[in-house]
Each structure stands twice: as structure tokens, then as C-alpha cells.
Amino acid sequence: MSESVLDAGLRPRVGEPVLQLSFTMRLQKIGLNPTLLAGLLLLALVVLVAICAPLLTPYDPIVQKLDEAFQPPLSVNHILGTDNFGRDVWSRILYGTRLDLQIGVISVLFPFVFGSLIGIATGYLGGRLDTFFMRIVDVLMAFPFLILVVAIMSILGPGLGNLYIAFGLVGWIPYARITRGETLATRNLEYVHAARTIGCTTPRIMLRHILPNVIAPGLVYVFTGMVLAILIGATLSYLGLGTQPPTPEWGAMIAAGRQFLLQAWWLTALPGFALLVLGVALSLIGDGLADRQ
């Protein structure tokens, strides 16, 4: 009887959060945490919507129907209403998701690769190479990032290609600083000395032994950089320097709807909400990855 009493005492009572604790432990076992999982699920939903855009709407995001202009949300044929040219807002948001995701990925791809390599090279080799690139970094960091991008776009002209060039010219700076700092803390560790002792070449030491151990903070910053790129891309479109009409892009949609803000609030509010959702998803992923460090 005593064993049954003990067994009863060890059994979880009804209502205790045993399943919740077990789920959290499983997430931690596979390297996930609730913040990271929430961000991944939200981003997966956004990507799925972007991929399935032609299946989710029957309307072309560019075709104009002036006789259907300014229809409010929850209209009979337009769930999110129409804009001043009669274009379906739901369709434009869906297809705009593709473009904003493209801006976020491409705008950080080259800066991440180039900046990480520069940071590892300057941190490991030091000397004049380090002095030269760090002085460039110091000069560029004296100006706000948005001001630099706007200045470059003003010289090159509006357009998506020029936007990528502008990000490539100045976006590598934070990645170089992050990886350089990690490399300075890593280059004198035992495994690096061991690689030198057995005769490994300098490029092999940097790419094979140092890179895998210093790249994690840069990967975390990638998602912050994607949020920044998407927001700046939307800002440039708002200013007329980014994506040009009639291409569906959230920043351009917000800019086009600002003059009808009192008459048709959904033209700015709904693209702004979509921008918020994507930004939150990427921010949650970045925070979740940072918590794993």
C-alpha cells in the first residue's frame, strides 16, 4: 500500500504543465527555443504566402480597373479593397511579399560574405591591412547608414539593381567589425597554434579553422540586417528612389496611399501591417539565435 501511495505522489496531478515543460525540453534538445520557433513559423507562413501568391488571388497586381477604384476592405470581390487605380490590394500585398523578401535576402548576401572575409583577414593578419580597412570602416560609420544609402541612390538613380549596389557598398561594415572582433579573440587559441605547427597555410587556417568558430555572431546579425534592408528598401520606395511603379512593393504602396490617407486608410495601413509582420518574424529569429549563443 505504501508503494501505491508513493506512486500516486509521483504522478503528475491533473492541470499541471507537464506537457508544456516536455515540449519546451524537446525544443531545447533540438536547439530551438520558443522565440526562435515563433519566428521560424511566422517566416515560413510569409514565405508560403509569397510562393502561393498566384493561387491565393485571381487578380493581376498591375492591371488597372478605374471603375472599381477605392473599394473598401471586405468588398464583394476584393477582400482588402482596391487602390486609386482599381487594383486589388490583396494581390499587390501578396506579390509585394516576393519582392520584399528578395530585397531582404539579396541585400545582405554580398555584404555578409564580403564583410566576414574582410573581418577574418584583418583580424588574423593585422598590420597595414587591418589599419587600412578599419580606417575605411571608421569613416563610413561616421555617417548614418540610411544617409549613405540615400546618397548612393541619388547618384546611381532609382531602381532595384542600384539598391543592391548601394547596400553592397556600405552594408559589409557591421559584418567586418563583428568577425574581426571574434577573430582577434580566436587567433591565439590552442587549435590555431596547432594548425600553424603542423604547417597549415594562412588561407587554410582562416577558412578552415577560424571561420567556422567566428561566423555565428555574423549569422545572428544577418536577420537584423534583413529587417534593416527591407525597411530601408521600403523607405527608398517611399521617397521615390527604390522600386518604381507599377511594381507592387510595400513601401511604394504606402507612399502611393499617403495622399488618400483620410479617404482610403487601407492603402497605407495594410501594406504597413504586412511590413510589420515580416519585420517581427525576422527579429524573432535573430533574438532566438542570439539566445542560443
What's the pLDDT band for 15 if we cut at 50, 70, 90?
low
Decide if 120 contacts 210 (C-beta within 8 A): yes
- Taking only the tens place, the pLDDT of each residue in 16-27 is 454 445 555 665
pLDDT for 9 equals 46
**Residue of 208, 152, 142, 151 whose CA lies nearest to 173:** 142
- Taking only the tens place, the pLDDT of each residue in 68-118 is 999 999 988 899 999 999 999 999 999 999 999 999 999 999 999 999 999
Q: What is the mean pLDDT of residues 172-181?
A: 94
- Taking only the tens place, the pLDDT of each residue in 237-270 is 888 888 888 889 999 899 889 889 889 999 999 9
What's the pLDDT band for 167 if we cut at 50, 70, 90?
very high
Which of 2-11, 155-164, 182-191, 195-204 has the least mean pLDDT?
2-11
Residue 56 C-alpha cell reads as 491565393
Decide if 86 contacts 64 (C-beta within 8 A): yes
Angle at CA of residue 274, ends 268 and 278, nearest 5°:
145
Mean of the per-residue pLDDT values of the chain: 87
How many whole angstroms separate alpha carbon 36 and alpha carbon 276?
A: 17
How many whole angstroms separate alpha carbon 94 and alpha carbon 28?
A: 34
pLDDT beyond 50 at 6 = no
pLDDT for 240 equals 85
Report the percentage of the chain scoring pLDDT > 90. 62
Decide if 55 contacts 92 (C-beta within 8 A): no
What's the pLDDT band for 30 if we cut at 50, 70, 90?
low
129, 133, 134, 139: CA torsion to nearest 10: 150
pLDDT for 32 equals 73
Question: CATH classification of 39-50+77-292 is 1.10.3720.10, yes or no?
Answer: yes
First to last CA, the chain: 49
How many whole angstroms separate alpha carbon 87 and alpha carbon 23?
A: 45
What's the pLDDT band for 159 if we cut at 50, 70, 90?
confident
Report DSSP letters for 121-188, one per residue: HHHHH-HHHHHHHHHHHHHHHTS-HHHHHHHHHHHH-SSHHHHHHHHHHHTTHHHHHHHHHHHHHHTT
pLDDT for 290 equals 84
pLDDT beyond 50 at 174 = yes
pLDDT beyond 90 at 31 = no
Q: Assess whether the previous peptide bond of 34 is cis (omega < 30° from 0).
A: no
